[in-house]
Amino acid sequence: MLEPTAEKGTTVDPLEIARWQFGITTVYHFWMVPLTLGLGPVVAIFQTLWVRTGNPQYLRMTKFWGKLYLINFIMGVATGIVQEFQFGMAWSEYSRFVGDVFGAPLAMEGLLAFFFESTFLGLWIFGWDRLPKKLHLAALWIGVAGSIVSAFFIIVANSWMQHPVGVELVDGRPVLVDIFAVLTNNTALTAYSHTIFGALGVGAAFLIGIGWYHLWQRRKDGIDTVDASGRVVVGENLAVPGRDRADHGVWIKSLRIGAVVAILGFGGVALTGDLQAKLMFDQQPMKMAAAEAACQDGTSFSILAIGDVGAKDCSQVVGVLEVPGLLSFLAHGDFTTDIKGVNTLVPEYQAKYGTTTADGTTVNYVPVMAVTYWGFRLMIGFGALAAFAAVVALWLTRKGTVPRSKWIMRLALLGILAPFAANSAGWIFTEMGRQPFVVAPNPNPSGVDGVFMFTASAVSSTATAGELLFSLISLTLVYGALMVVEVTLLVKFVRGGIAGVMPPEDTPADDDTDVLAFAY
Amino acid sequence: MELLPTIWFIAIGLLWIGYLLLEGFDLGVGMHMLVSGRTEGQRRVMLNTIGPVWDGNEVWLLTAGAATFAAFPFWYASLFSTLYIPLVLVLLGLIFRAVGIEYRGKGNSQRWLTFWTWAIGLGSFVTAFGIGAALALTTTGLPLDENGNRVGGPFVWLTPYAVLGGLAVIGFCLVHAAVFLGLKTDGSVRERSRGFVVRVAPFALLPIVVWVLAIQFTSGTIVTWAIVVVAVLAVVFGYVNARRGREGLAFIGIAAFLFAGCASIFAAVYPVVLPSTIDHAFDLTISNAASGDYTLTVMTWVTAFGLPLVLLYQGYTYWVFRKRLTETHLPEPHPVEPAVVR
């Protein structure tokens, strides 16, 4: 965090507005993205099962989850372009500094991934009944693969800011010399797998929560009952569109597949997270010290600390519950190596990277510890909660339906939010933990240690507070309103169930009238 | 001769032409939903002509932006930071338009439909204006100092050239989309679109012609003037065929007009990518704004592999959805009711 300088103290600092804008628009964008990444493969698997087995249940699952997927997908598209433009608009000094290396993965994302994603999803949306079945399925898989490859290039770009590799310093500016080093940056590979597993968790929680709601609604409406031995008796109520016998299978399958995906996803998240943490202790020791609010060197992992963890001099942090040796284990795989605390690291950073920025502002090398400490714990906490909920869901539904309890149903729906929260907390932690750098130095013995940039030097020097406030306020208001619209539409289509996405009178289009299977 | 920066100057020119050619009719269709659509049926037919393709078309913008960042970071940084306000408006326009296209059909009330029609229509107008202003200014110049930073306030970009460029792209999109709708629909939308081209095209295309000529008079060469002649022939060819009801030929004419018109502009300003109106010593050129040769080589390989593929599968999409649309092709909208026992 940067201290406002005395001269700027009375006015709004453009840097702070630009940072809030980047934070708000990125966190928001990354609510849509993990759902797209997580739900896409699931929909593609459902359609594959339908094409292979011909079982209409899988067609229904494809149509229902595909509809929710698209309602969300478009919001990711609409908010994604803001991200690319923002670098040049608000962070032009950053763009000039990193342009030789940072633009390439963004352009690759467009050419090698996003074109595939957008074009083939368009084919998929409008291609029902028009393309041969297998080609139509292939369109979806290519679109979904496009989104997953797209995430790779974006994480490559971000990881270069965490750990700049593949460059040489020429006239004080990083110049790309090895694109493969950038693409195989170990920071990127771990962060990418961590992100993909985390996204699967988001998609899975959707399947669990919404599947749960429908099974509960069927029980509430007296359609499904449970006999004396605890087994589910599947019924139907043809007065309610969509509520036939096969409808039950749609939801229980979705739910249980979701639970399995969630467990796999969170397992992957834990493993890759551990790898990431070990790298980060090497690459960004200050970030990890701040994640622990660890002022002194030590080996203990803090589960709970009280006091003001954001206090600058570390004097007020009081560890309440600590596990001796665990931090060393997370960082190095043993229980005894001391991990450097903030008080040790600050002089090291000052010696290497100076005490002031180019314009003479004093640099504070300690990230906002309240954010990093709690961001790290909320990420792990919400992730673990979601994984635990998935296991419970698998157990509670083992006989083929859900309990009648309205409260458990509500918890299942609320549980959808947990992996979203874990994703946001993780990103806020990793981006705030990189401060005061926008491009963090690479202290590895092999790294180009001189390549770094302070966030304070990255903002557009021409941007006025007025311009930035205009965009911050207008984007935030529009984003807020569109969130209401998206959630309203999602709720509407969730409650509509299968009949909402496949109207009963929907007979295959005959060739004379040639009515489209889908139109806006 | 700086080969790689020249290749990338051409590549970015092509990306912008691709964008205007493809999203040009998407934006124009959005405008026509407000301007020419009289009934809900007509508006739906219009929207569905671009339904399967608009999102893929928009990626051309994203790629043009990212390629500029990768190949000419100093151009990208100066242009985008100087045009902060118009680009915010472009972003808001693109957001409303994209969400509108996807969400409009997911509700039934008149208020819902009307709101999203306006969101798509106004979003398209604002986007076209902002993109046009940005492209006009990068060819005519902005007040930049020796570091490529803006001299002056947030509205220093708002010059006659910005307005000319904005109107040029709006006018082009309206005509281009009307030709496109004539080609892609049947029935009342086809009739109305043809009428629009015949009546409005000569006026709506004036601003883009003025822009092309203004560039030629300041920095034209014999070669670029020759390209202008091709552009003029193309647009006359397109217009004559539009009058005769030959929609395919009309579309080829207007597409060739766009291609040649843009090519004449890019060729005339080369090697300057963003002139400074303060001092031409501060101009950003393909030499001082470009990335290093290694980066440009990498990007050349990526593009040589990626772009032909893009053309191939986007072309395939247009082929799959080549049929003319009419109102009878559109499925009835159906209400989505909660699946509960009342």
What is the structure's pLDDT at A352? 87
Cβ within 8 Å of residue A414, ≥6 positions away: A209
What is the structure's pLDDT at A1? 38
The closest CB to that of A107, out of B66, B80, B329, belongs to B66
Cβ within 8 Å of residue B338, ≥6 positions away: A495, A496, A497
pLDDT, average across residues B150-173: 95
Cβ within 8 Å of residue B107, ≥6 positions away: A489, B113
Chain A CB contacts of B11 under 8 Å are none
Chain A residues 477-516 within an 8 A CB cutoff of chain B: 478, 482, 485, 489, 492-493, 495-500, 503, 513-516
Residue listed under structure tokens 């694109």: A179
What is the structure's pLDDT at A7? 46
Tell me the C-alpha distance between B281 and A203, whole Å: 54
Subunit contact A88:B81, Cβ cutoff 8 A = yes
Sign of torsion over alpha carbons A403, A405, A406, A411: negative
CA A4 to chain centroid: 31
The closest CB to that of B295, out of A119, A176, A495, belongs to A176
What is the structure's pLDDT at B321? 94
Tell me the C-alpha distance between A386 and B65, whole Å: 38
Give me the interface pTM, i.e. the ipTM.
Answer: 0.95
- Chain A, nearest residue to B93 by Cα: A78
What is the structure's pLDDT at A3? 43
pLDDT band at B333 (very low <50, low <70, confident <90, very high): confident
Subunit contact A120:B153, Cβ cutoff 8 A = no
In which region does residue A449 sit, left (phi positive, over 0), alpha (psi from -120 to 50) or beta (all else)? alpha
- Chain B, nearest residue to A107 by Cα: B66
The closest CB to that of B307, out of A111, A120, A500, belongs to A111
What is the structure's pLDDT at A2? 42
What residues does A362 pair with on adjacent strands? Answer: A356
Chain A CB contacts of B76 under 8 Å are 88, 95, 99, 103
pLDDT band at B189 (very low <50, low <70, confident <90, very high): very high
What is the structure's pLDDT at B6? 96
| Tens digits of residue pLDDT in B70-110 | 999 999 999 999 999 999 999 999 999 999 999 999 998 99
Predicted structure pTM score: 0.94
Domain ranges of chain B: 3-296
Subunit contact B62:A503, Cβ cutoff 8 A = no
What's the CATH fold of domain B3-296?
Formate dehydrogenase/DMSO reductase fold (1.20.1630)
What is the structure's pLDDT at A5? 43
Residue segments in chain A with a per-residue pLDDT below the cut of 50: 1-10
What is the structure's pLDDT at A158? 96
Subunit contact B84:A123, Cβ cutoff 8 A = no
B143: which 2 tokens? 């007040």
What is the structure's pLDDT at A189? 96
What is the structure's pLDDT at A314? 67
The closest CB to that of B59, out of A115, A462, A515, belongs to A115
Chain A residues 451-470 within an 8 A CB cutoff of chain B: 460-464, 466-467, 470
Subunit contact B88:A517, Cβ cutoff 8 A = no
What is the structure's pLDDT at A395? 94
pLDDT band at B256 (very low <50, low <70, confident <90, very high): very high
Neighbours of B51 (CB within 10 A): 23
pLDDT, average across residues B36-48: 95
**Of B236, B244, B251, B238, nearest in space to B183 by CA:** B251
Instruction: Name residue A194's amino acid.
Output: H
Count of CB pairs separated by less than 8 Å, A with B? 280
What is the structure's pLDDT at A443? 75
Neighbours of A180 (CB within 10 A): 10
Subunit contact A518:B331, Cβ cutoff 8 A = yes
Q: Does A70 touch chain B (CB under 8 A)?
A: yes
What is the structure's pLDDT at A310? 56
| Tens digits of residue pLDDT in B283-320 | 999 999 999 999 999 999 999 999 999 999 999 999 99
Subunit contact A489:B299, Cβ cutoff 8 A = no
